[in-house]
Structure 1
Amino acid sequence: MHEFRIDGPITGGTPAALAAFLKTARGAAVQITINSPGGDAIAGSAAYAQLRGYRGAVTVTVEGVAASAASLIAMAGRPIQMHDGAFLMLHEACGGAEGQAATLRDRADLIDRVSAVYRRAYAERSGKSEAEIASIMEEETWFTAQEAVAENFADVILQPLRVAASIDLTIFDFRNTPSALRAAIQRKPSMTEQTTLQEPQAATIQEISAIARRANLGIDWVEAQAKAGATREAATDAGLDAFAAAYAAQVRPSTVRVLQDEGDTARDAESEYVAARILGRSPVGPAAGLRGHTIADIMAHRLEQRGQRLGRGMAAEQIFARLTTSDLPNLLTNGASRAMAELYPTVRTRLVELAQVRDLPDFRPTTLIRLAQHKPLDLVNEGGEVTAAFPLENGEQIKLATFANVFPVSREALVNDDLGGLAEWMSASAQGAAARERLLAAGLLTAGSGLGPTLSDGLPWFDAARGNIGTNAVLSATALAMAVASMRSLKDGKGNTVFALEPFAIVVSPEREYLARQLVAELTATTTRAEVQPYNLTVIVEPALTGNRWWLAPRPVTRRCITMGYLDGRQMPTVETFTTPEILGATLRIHFDVAAAVQDPIGWVTNAGG
């Protein structure tokens, strides 16, 4: 099984490393091992989305600590394993900012939206209501392995493994760190433990991939190093040797520097600084040292790293004239991409939570295969033949489409270090891409006057013959009870009941938001902790929907009727920057390759709403 380790803080580079790892895994089962105090909340959200959208099996193991953003990533596991003595911590998102009142308000709003993303993920995994999760997060709640399993945040408890002491929790201002964990961190390891910790460990696939990228080596080299069980030091030496052999005739001091960690750290800090400028927040990590610098200052430093001598006080115009054709595009692309990774998860439609995510390799139509029947397993006598009990039938087709926009950054804006227009465009583009994604998803619900698109069997998604249309009624406790009964009685084309369907979300238009939330609040208020609560309902309000019609959707882990497809699994817009001789300055382009389709009609129930 392919393993990806998250040791230490979650940073802006974590999602990129995880994406490279998942691409290498190619749909095979993966093991995500976590021992982390958390870190970048947005990066944690992006990593969680990548794992939830991965088509292969994902097993998560918490070795010591999965706190803050790391606990969200852990929620993507099916199953989630925790070593006895490990801890899981949930709390609200936090962050800082500087600037005028409007900037601070925008930052506070962003943090609220990030916390909402976390609440929904925790609620989906545990089956608790978002109100319960909000209370847990507000209190900064720490769970032992036993408590996490009892509260449905984990599935399996493994044998104790003493690794938590390797985590530095002092870099985060946690207020409720358990005394047992604090003592474990402060206790010095014995000589036996020290010897064990000092034994060389095989490099993780992401460490080998990082070395390969720096040395311009291919996937075959990565797989060979991983198969050989190379340590990080051995892989680094092998990468340097391979790089030297391939480029011996072209080696220059500036070329070798790309293999040095200092150069990578500088590039990462530059990207973080540009992203912070675009988002109007404070830069974090090494990028904090760039506060107050202009784009020209950053480019001047890059030129000096290459050995160019710049006169004191050289004008920005002269600095830009010395850049290569890729310097400025790379800086803007990396910074804008990081900003997009923070912005986009906060504006996406919640309908995506209910969908199956597919990685589509190209723009050709792809057939979504589904089960033709759902009969129980057959009894097989000793020596008897095992027959195919789950035949497949041709399903619907999904085909990617591209949606794009461009924004010119003028030469004057770059010289004047004015990124205000770019910041506005990035915010608008993120919302525009999210609007397109929501229109595609919501369009499946509104097609056919609310009955959905006509599927390959000749019937619309919602049809009386499928049993997924309720008697026309205003949303109420009685109408909801009938919809729940209908969902649990749904049958496949062969007449077999589709078991395990569990009501999860009421989907409504803004006109019916108050009514839906009031109903769910009343149902929740009548249930105490001591009573049996078979499920908790959440309300999804989709602005792209109109009218009185409402839908009841099953818990995603039991059924996903909608499929969202993304080119190479990239669930957010791609940002590119390019320059041309005809244009002074640079042009940023955003494009989003996305599609939506109904994969299986069995699961959802709809009602015209009276």
Structure 2
Amino acid sequence: MRLSSAEDVAPIGQRIADGTLSGVSIGYRVAGWATRREAGQRIKSATRVHLTEVTLTSNPADPNAGVRQAKEGGMPKDVQEQQDDRAALIARVRAAHNLPEEWATRMAEAEDELTDDEIRADGRETALAARATRPQVQIRTAAPSSEDPAVIRDRQVDALSARMMGTAPTDAARPFMNLGLHDLARDVLVRAGQSVATLGREEMLTRAMHTTSDFAELLTGSGNRVLANAYQQAQSPLKQLARQRTAADFRPLSTLKLGEFSGLQKVTEAGEIKSITTGEAKEAYSLETFGGIFSLSRKAIINDDLGAFARWGEMMGRAAAETETAQLLGLLLANAGAGVTMDDGKTLFHADHGNVAAAPGPLDKDGLSAARLALRSQKGLDNKTPVNVVPKFLLVSPELETAAEQLLASIAPATTDDVQPIRLTLLVEPRLTGPAWFVFGDPATAPVLEYAYLSSAQGPQLSSRDGWETLGREFRVVLDFGAGVTDHRGAYRNAGA
């Protein structure tokens, strides 16, 4: 690169001479590519580029990209400096491409004939040519064994969990579907480089569990799949009424309820804008830890009894879902059905909250109409501003399911042009009993119930270790969960009749 002799360029030349402007950033387009395979991947390398833009800068993207030699004045270098720079470049290129000593000797002898870029290009081309002529060692193995061990383990987890749950495996997991626990233990040991030719079934399983982590992770991973599947299937409809959040720790979670603004004030002639106020109230709850332990016996492992493992996983998944439901349902049924006591000292469903039927009545049109009116009439913390909660869910016990379906069907529109008086989604909670029924608004806009998980462990978590008190494998399920009531305005209760 040659600097202009114009006066406005002279300060740049002086900065280069002073060494304060020595970095270079470039723009380029690739004029040649080379392709090779390495570790099972196809890699493309640029072998020739054309510069399209060069910028001098004090902070280049590559700290090694800088002004290395000047011509025609600027930053003159003596012959020894130039030779040292060239020798350092040759050494860097040789080390980067693992080239032989003879290549470095050839480059040093041709230093007056080659530019720095040509030395770099020659190094790349020599390395590519050496790889192309290097003899390839062919290793024949089972197809999945030549892949990433983590990928193989995931496919085995898919196959093992599919067998336990009776579901269809993925295409990638299908080759492992007929493998039992001892087959999987053999595969784990072989991939770890251990000889299994003289091992019996029990010794092979014992060694796989105690000398490698892959087999233990395989059991834990497939157990987690079974646990999660059972947990999801056992979810309570109460969760549709609640808002979810996460917590960083076990300290109390405060839910701040902001009252409605008192309204915008008219701006005075002088342009003064007055402050507006809002009321505040809060509710709080904390996460709690729930857990259980079960063991997969040595006998079950040796007998390849996946049914026992699956049954334990399903039971723990349902137990976790039941624990969450009990926490949420307890908030509604506390205090003889009046709900949990809130921050204002009153129960969730209270006459002062305007969300309980004054006279218990049956589930009918009149009752639903009264519930809708009560929710629409809710006021903010200032007891003046309408909240206008829109009813969305009807929650009943199994005893009222048929009556609720008939009632909602009777008020459904005959045609799309008809106006439906009340639009409600029916939720049936099997743990509810009696004639009481509830109406809830949308938890996104009028939250009443809220539940939270620990941010690092959302849902039940399964871990395992070698059995200590019993021979086999011990599994532990832990659930960090908490639930609370955030407000009373989005719910209505009728004790029924």
TM-score computed with the length of structure 2 as normaliser: 0.66
Structure 1 residue corresponding to 2:401, chosen from 513, 523, 538: 513
2:188 aligns with: 302
Structure 1, residues 231-251: CA drift from partner, whole Å, max 9, x if none? xxxxxxxxxxxxxxxxxxxxx
Q: Determine if contact 2:182/2:204 at 8 Å carries over to the other structure.
A: yes
Q: Say whether the 8 Å CA contact 2:392–2:441 is kept in structure 1.
A: yes
2:229 is matched with: 342
Q: Which amino acid aligns with 1:608?
A: A
Deviation at 1:506, TM superposition (A): 0.8
Tell me, what secondary structure is at the counterpart of 2:443?
coil
How far apart, CA to CA, are the structure 1 residues paired with 2:327 and 2:264? 37
| Pairing partner for 1:317 from 178, 185, 202 | 202
- 3-state DSSP class of the match of 1:286? coil
2:338 pairs with 1:414: no
Q: Which residue of 1 aligns with 2:389?
A: 501
Give the C-alpha shift of residue 542 in structure 1: 1.1
What code does the residue aligned with 1:320 have? L
The answer (yes or no) to whether the contact 2:185–2:205 under 8 Å persists in 1 is: yes
1:489 aligns with 2:364: no
- Which structure has the greater CA radius of gyration? 2
Q: Which moved more, 1:273-282 or 1:366-375?
A: 366-375
Q: For residue 22 of structure 2, what is the aligned residue in structure 1? A: none
- Please show how residues 205-604 of structure 1 align to structure 2 within 5 Å: 262-311=148-197, 314-323=199-208, 324=211, 326-373=213-260, 375-376=262-263, 384-385=272-273, 387=275, 389-393=277-281, 395-471=282-358, 472-524=360-412, 526-533=413-420, 536-568=423-455, 570-604=457-491
Residue correspondence of structure 1 range 47-58 to structure 2 within 5 A: none
Q: CA deviation at 1:468?
A: 0.8
Residue aligned with 1:396, SS: strand
Structure 2 CA distance for partners of 1:385 and 1:497, relative to 1, 3 Å: closer
Amino acid at match of 1:409: L
Shift of 1:464: 1.2
Which runs of structure 2 are paired with 1:164-175 in the superposition (5 Å)?
none
Q: Which amino acid aligns with 2:258?
A: L
Q: By how many angstroms is 1:384 displaced?
A: 4.3
Could you tell me how far 1:601 is from its partner in structure 2? Answer: 1.4
C-alpha distance 376-299 of structure 1, shift in aligned 2 (>3 A) = farther
Q: Partner amino acid for 2:167?
A: R
Structure 1 or 2: more helix by fraction: 1
| SS of residue paired to 2:357 | coil
Q: Secondary structure at the match of 2:205?
A: helix
Q: How does 1:3-42 map to 2 (within 5 A)?
A: none
Amino acid at match of 1:475: L
Task: Tell me the CA shift for residue 402 of structure 1.
Answer: 1.9
Structure showing the higher strand proportion among its residues: 2
- 1:584 partner amino acid: L
How many pairs were matched up? 349
The offset of 1:581, in angstroms, is 4.2
Distance 2:462 2:441 in 1: 34
User: Shift in Å at residue 535 of structure 1?
Assistant: 5.7
Q: CA contact under 8 A between 2:262 and 2:276: conserved in structure 1?
A: no
What residue ranges of structure 1 are gaps of 5+ in the alignment?
1-227, 229-259
Asked whether the equivalents of residues 165 and 226 of structure 2 are also in contact (C-alpha less than 8 Å), the reply is yes
- Superposed CA offset, 1:433-478 (max 9, x none): 2111111111111111221111111111111111111232111011
- 1:306 deviates by 2.0
Q: Secondary structure at the match of 1:334?
A: helix
- Kindly state the Cα deviation for residue 326 of structure 1 after the two structures are TM-superposed: 3.3
CA contact (8 A) 1:502 1:554 kept: yes
Cα deviation for residue 409 of structure 1 reads: 0.5
The 5 Å alignment of 1:79-90 reads none
Contact 1:363 1:399 in 2 (8 A): yes
C-alpha displacement at 1:390, in angstroms? 4.0
Distance 2:423 2:219 in 1: 44
Q: Is this contact kept in 1: 2:261–2:276, CA < 8 A?
A: no
Distance 1:569 1:378 in 2: 45
Give the direction of change, closer, same or farther, for the CA distance of 1:593–1:288 in structure 2 (3 Å limit).
Answer: same
Specify whether residues 581 and 499 from structure 1 end up closer, same or farther in structure 2 by C-alpha distance, changes over 3 A only.
closer
Instruction: Provide closer, same or farther for how the CA distance between residues 304 and 535 of structure 1 changes in structure 2, counting only shifts above 3 A.
Output: farther
Deviation of 1:360 after TM superposition, in Å, equals 1.7
Does the 8 A contact of 2:163 with 2:177 survive in 1?
no
Shift of 1:325: 6.0
Query: What is the CA deviation profile of residues 561-609 of structure 1, one whole-angstrom value per residue up to 9, with x for unaligned ones?
Result: 1111212274421111111444321011112121211011111111111
Distance 1:376 1:335 in 2: 57
Contact 2:226–2:314 (CA<8 Å) still a contact in 1?
no
Alpha-carbon separation, structure 2, partners of 1:408 and 1:546:
35
Aligned counterparts of 1:346 and 1:417: Cα–Cα separation in 2: 26
The separation in 2 between residues aligned to 1:467 and 1:569, in whole angstroms, is: 39
In structure 2, which of residues 470, 492, 495 is the aligned counterpart of residue 605 of structure 1? 492
TM-score (norm 1): 0.54
**In 2, Cα distance between the equivalents of 1:261 and 1:389?**
64
